[in-house]
Amino acid sequence: MNTRNAPGALRELQSACPDVEISTEPAVLESHGLDWTRFRDPAPLAVAFPRKLEDVQALVRHACGAGLAIVPSGGRTGLSGGAVAAGGELVVSFDRMRQMLEFDPVDASIRVEAGMTTGAVQEFAAANDLYYPVSFASEGTSQIGGNIATNAGGIRVLRHGLTRERVTGLKVVTGTGAVLECNRGLIKNASGYDLRHLFIGSEGTLGLIVEATLRLERRPPPGKVMLLGLTGLDALMNVFSDLRRTVALSAFEFLTDKALAHVCAGHELSRPLETECPLYVVAEFDCPGDEAEEAALASFERGVERGWLADGIIAQSAAQNAELWRYREGISESITALRPYKNDLSVRISRVPEFLQRMDALVAEIASDYEVVWYGHIGDGNLHMNIIGPEGLGPDEFEARCHEISNRTYALTEEMGGSISAEHGLGLLKSPWLGRARSAAEIEAMRAIKRVFDPAGILNPGKLFPNDG
């Protein structure tokens, strides 16, 4: 929008939505105009805090008529700029819509407002002897609406799948202000197109999620965490396959020596193992009794005999489980101050060894002057590659150079049939490379779907689709 008309646009917005709290406080514009990506400056027109469905409808209807762009906003923990408002948009925040609406113990499901945090959903489930398995480091802040909009993953996808697996119903306000109730919390529903799945992972480009019905699970048996020191990249998938055959794995995460050094320095942790290794794994498995632990130890010994493993530690209490998880979950936060350029790549699990080797060689060739920190959900074929520039390099120069690196790494990812965003979404930062993950025919179909739900093109413009029409 033309920011010169901002006072007029604001007056019209407020008079069209008199019941909705709308803020133009500089601190609020600053906090709600950005997510955890740090490559843009926040510049929203205003931030609206609806309290109910009708408020969201009123905001969208007005924005649709006025041609005002909307940025849907949850906990703003995203890493691809999906919730960034850098061009005079109206941010619609779900901070005032955090209620638990319904719990049905027979269905083992809950209906919640979009602004409820992931952590609050987990806590509610646990208090009712149930389990919400989607879990990641930012779960205390991230909101369910944002999780659904990005189809969030995390550390337990290996066992329980992505957020998509949990959603049995959605209430959505589309780009015209229409309300859609998708799937009504049903497990089975063969009555036509399942529109719910279009909104999951749509990054706020098709509608604003106001309510979700989520399936909970039976509480799993107690888990046990191991931290293993590997001899090299070649060992990674051998260790994974052996452990997966031996125990009921619920997580299999990897980190490099550089990632370990950052997390230890950033969180004042001592090194977890005596032996220094190039690569580490944090794995979790169900451990209802001694047998499972013995099986895991036998797998560890096989790994040592075969030259895959150099060292390892197995937690002996729930507190130690949590301590070992910190070495993996604390990495992202420990490098935040260094403003890393983030990549979130995936390939099929069977292609992980080749992908890692080729990516390792490519990065050594094209980014040898930068520090590259790798970690991720390697049991799902998902690799987080964080590039850290030298001190003193300006942000624009750094971003431009990282774009060149992305052109090469994404070309390799495409060649190997992978994705340039596994779980973070394309947002604003990765949207220029949509064509590296989807064919021209797919993109045309996606644009056609966008036109159906958002004919005026007001929902999160520039996100997911490249800003080229």
CB 1 within 8 A of CB 67: yes
Residue 197 CB, nearest approach to ligand 2HG (Å)? 22
Q: Which is nearer to ligand 2HG, 147 or 213 (CB)?
A: 147
d(CA 258, CA 162): 28
- Give the total residue count for the chain: 469
Q: Which is nearer to ligand 2HG, 150 or 205 (CB)?
A: 150
x/- contact string, 380-419, with ligand 2HG (CB under 6 A)? ----x-x---------------------------------
Residue 141 CB, nearest approach to ligand 2HG (Å)? 13
Residue 430 CB, nearest approach to ligand 2HG (Å)? 12
x/- contact string, 306-335, with ligand 2HG (CB under 6 A)? --------------------------x---
Chain residues 71-90 in contact with ligand 2HG, contact rule CB under 6 A: 79
d(CA 5, CA 218): 54
Chain residues 118-147 in contact with ligand 2HG, contact rule CB under 6 A: 136-137
Q: Which is nearer to ligand 2HG, 76 or 384 (CB)?
A: 384
Chain residues 331-370 in contact with ligand 2HG, contact rule CB under 6 A: 332, 342
Q: Which is nearer to ligand 2HG, 85 or 251 (CB)?
A: 251
Cα–Cα distances in Å, from 106 out to 60, 130, 160, 183, 319?
A: 36, 12, 20, 18, 32
Q: Residues in contact with ligand 2HG, total (CB under 6 A)?
A: 7
Which amino acid is located at 148 in the chain? I
Of 106, 147, 103, 140, give the one whose Cα is nearest residue 125: 103
At what angle are helices 290-305 and 233-246 packed, to 10 degrees?
Answer: 150
Structure tokens at 269: 């942790």
Helix, strand, coil shares, percent, the chain, to 5: 40, 25, 40
Residue 416 CB, nearest approach to ligand 2HG (Å)? 20
Map residue 181 onto helix, strand or coil.
strand
Q: Which is nearer to ligand 2HG, 137 or 429 (CB)?
A: 137
Residue 203 CB, nearest approach to ligand 2HG (Å)? 16
Q: Which is nearer to ligand 2HG, 138 or 213 (CB)?
A: 138
Residue 37 CB, nearest approach to ligand 2HG (Å)? 10
Structure tokens at 156: 């337990």
Q: Which is nearer to ligand 2HG, 224 or 342 (CB)?
A: 342
Which residue number is nearest to ligand 2HG in terms of Cβ? 332
Q: Which is nearer to ligand 2HG, 47 or 137 (CB)?
A: 137
Which amino acid is located at 264 in the chain? C
Residue 123 CB, nearest approach to ligand 2HG (Å)? 21
Per DSSP, which regions of 318-407 are E strands? Answer: 341-346, 371-376, 382-388
d(CA 216, CA 20): 33
Structure tokens at 467: 């800003």
Which amino acid is located at 469 in the chain? G
State the pairing for strand pair 90-93/46-49: parallel
Residue 138 CB, nearest approach to ligand 2HG (Å)? 8
Residue owning tokens 């699990």: 349
Q: By the criterion CB under 6 A, which residues form the site for ligand 2HG? A: 79, 136-137, 332, 342, 384, 386
